[in-house]
Amino acid sequence: MDSPKSLKKALDGDAEILSICVFGASGDLAKKKVYPAIFALFYEGHLPEDFVVFGYARSDMTTETFVDKIRSSLPRRVSSKVDCSEYVEKFLAKCFYQAGQYDDPDDFKTLATAISEKEAGKSAMRIFYLSIPPSIFVPVAQNAARHVSSLSGETRVIVEKPFGRDLDSSRELTNALAEDLKESQTYRIDHYLGKELVENITVLRFSNIIFSPLWSRTHIRNVQITFSENFGTEGRGGYFDNYGIIRDVVQNHLLQVMALFAMEEPASLDAEDIRDEKVKVIKSIRPIDMANVVLGQYKKSGDETKPGYLDDETVPPGSRCATFAAMALFVDNARWDGVPFLIKAGKALHKREAEVRIQFHHAPGNLYKKQLGATSDMNSNELIIRIQPDEAIYLRLNSKIPGLGMRLDQTDLDLQYKAKFGAGELPDAYERLILDVVQGDKRLFIRNDELEAAWKLFTPVLNQIENDNINPELYPYGSRGPIGAHYLASRYNVRWGDTYN
């Protein structure tokens, strides 16, 4: 975190007070992500002086008990030299709790009364954060909109993914929310879009003229977007099994990164202009062929110290749920015709990593073929955007090894964010996105037609996987994933990018 700044009025519009209500306040997401993000905004001076934070959940507890529960999730120090305990207590003094059922309108009316008492007649912006299971999105959003909406200012609702399981369920959710909320009030949050390096993709593309002529099929031979975790479901298999890796990561996080990477330059930085271009890209993606899809499920590690997916007691016996997916996508437009976008995501792999890797065409001719060595990839330039961990951007170039002979090797021009900007300068994705909601900036949120286009792309292949009972290829916990992913890449004369240190 930065050092504390003087508090300033940050509200969008004429509101005098900001009221945030976190539904599902007793859950892990609220405790580990939402409340720490709101506190960080308070500490850094990005919230108005006058604000309150209400937690709402079914758990029967007092405000004092609730505050004690979330106190442990807030940082006491922001560095070895800066103690922020005073700010923690100031923040907690603005936090309140209201117990209630999610389907009882009277409980929501009681919540509205409690919030109004804290607002003391001031014009208020109210933000509702739905940190709840998708099965209760609709009743909570509708009850909140009908009975807790601000009568003197704007109301905005943040909805966490997943936004349905397929096209039909997504449409049902969208239509249900639209009964009581305008599209302008609905903020579909994909926390991946709030990550520093994801937001930097458009800056890298459109503010550096050196990349403009290179960003097309003429110079780029493939793009790899990878997401890997070095841990399994760890007791959350019951939830994960209902969605699988494609719904959990690929259809949302990685598709959004791909759209930002491949879109045309928007007319402006206005949210609607950016989202217009993203929708065009998604609609241009060729229907997914199962021949270009590899599914995997992790089993016990080779030394049997790590459990397999089916060893998770919360996973149904014999589940075919994929914990790994790799696929080749193609954007059928003039810029990207024929360029494979290789997407890979998986759990229980050998490392935790997320990156975008752009491999350029080989330098024409054979001038340095002998000096570059035997592998054909050696003379390919690469631009890598490391999203997590250890955020970085680096460009891989061929250069001469110092000495009397003519030997070539690859060198990285390296921008490591922690080294350049300091470890404390990268805000959490939730912090960025909640601030955007306060300020009414929707650039990093998903529009309804964007969601529709994404589900139209993935629903047919998801249906085929389930209808045909396709068995995933097993891979050991801690490995690089199923062998089929390497065969898929080799089909397009591509090798998955190597490790960057």
Q: For residue 440, is pLDDT > 60?
A: yes
The answer, yes or no, to whether residue 379 has pLDDT greater than 70, is no
- 418: confidence class by pLDDT, cuts 50, 70, 90: low
Q: Please, what is the end-to-end C-alpha distance for the chain in angstroms?
A: 26
Measured CA to CA, the distance from residue 53 to residue 39 in angstroms comes to 10
Question: Is residue 362 among the annotated active site residues?
Answer: no
| Least confident range of 408-412, 449-453, 460-464 | 408-412
Residue 164 near residue 202, CB atoms below 8 Å: no
Ranges 16-20, 231-235, 297-301, 314-318: which has the least confidence: 231-235
Please state, in angstroms and rounded to a whole number, the distance separating the CA atoms of residues 431 and 442: 14
- pLDDT per position as a tens digit, 113-139: 999 999 988 898 999 999 988 888 899
- Mean of all residue pLDDT scores within the chain: 86
Q: Which of 24-28, 299-303, 391-395 has the lowest mean pLDDT?
A: 391-395
Say how many CA atoms lie within 13 Å of 283 toward its Cβ: 9
pLDDT of residue 319: 94
pLDDT for the residue 27 = 87
156: confidence class by pLDDT, cuts 50, 70, 90: very high
pLDDT for 326 beyond 90: yes
What integer pLDDT is reported at residue 24 of this predicted model?
A: 92
Q: How far apart are alpha carbons 161 and 441 in whole angstroms?
A: 19
Cβ neighbourhood burial of 45 (10 Å; 0-12, 13-18, 19+):
middle
What is the average pLDDT across 452-458?
Answer: 95
Question: What is residue 9's predicted lDDT score, i.e. its pLDDT?
Answer: 43
CA dihedral sign, ordered 43, 426, 261, 256 = negative
**The pLDDT of residue 95:** 94
Residue 295's DSSP bridge partners are 325
Can you give the pLDDT at residue 330? 98
Answer yes or no: is pLDDT of 424 > 60.
Answer: no
Model confidence at 4, in pLDDT bands (50, 70, 90)?
very low
For residue 427, give Cα distances in angstroms to 40, 134, 168: 9, 27, 35
CA distance 284 to 341: 13
34-43, 338-347, 349-358, 491-500: which has the highest mean pLDDT?
Answer: 338-347
The model's confidence at residue 2, banded by pLDDT at 50, 70 and 90, is: very low
Considering the candidates 253, 361, 362, 486, report the single residue annotated as catalytic. 253
pLDDT for 375 beyond 70: no
According to DSSP, the β-strands at 155-160 and 124-130 are parallel
Residue 10's alpha-carbon distances to 54, 102, 435, in angstroms, are 19, 31, 9
Res 13: pLDDT: 58
Question: Could you give the angle at the alpha carbon of 430 between the alpha carbons of 428 and 432, nearest 5°?
Answer: 75
- What is the C-alpha separation between 244 and 307, in angstroms, rounded? 18
Confidence of residue 3 (pLDDT cuts 50, 70, 90): very low
Per-residue confidence at 415, pLDDT binned at 50, 70, 90?
low
Most confident of 27-36, 274-283, 397-406, 412-421: 274-283
13-17, 67-71, 373-377: range with lowest mean pLDDT: 373-377
Report how far residue 154's alpha carbon sits from residue 185's, in angstroms, rounded to the nearest whole number. 8
Bridge partners (DSSP) of residue 95 are 53
Cis before 162? omega within 30: yes
Contacts of 332 (CB under 8 A, 6+ apart): 284, 285, 286
Q: What is the pLDDT of residue 372?
A: 59
> Taking the CB of residue 149, how many other CB atoms lie within 10 A of it?
17
| Distance in angstroms (rounded) separating the CA atoms of residues 275 and 257 | 13
Q: Which of 403, 392, 436 is nearest to 127 (CA)?
A: 436
The percentage of the chain sitting over the pLDDT mark of 90, rounded to a whole number, equals: 52
Tell me what the mean pLDDT of segment 429-442 comes to: 87
Q: Which residue has better confidence, 372 or 386?
A: 386
**pLDDT tens digit string along 311-322?**
998 999 999 999
Residue 14: predicted pLDDT: 67
Q: For 471-493, b where at least 16 C-beta lie within 10 A, e where not — what string?
A: ebbebbbbbbbbebbbebbeeee
Half-sphere exposure of 293 (CA within 13 A, CB side): 20
User: Can you tell me whether residue 76 is helix, strand or coil?
Assistant: coil
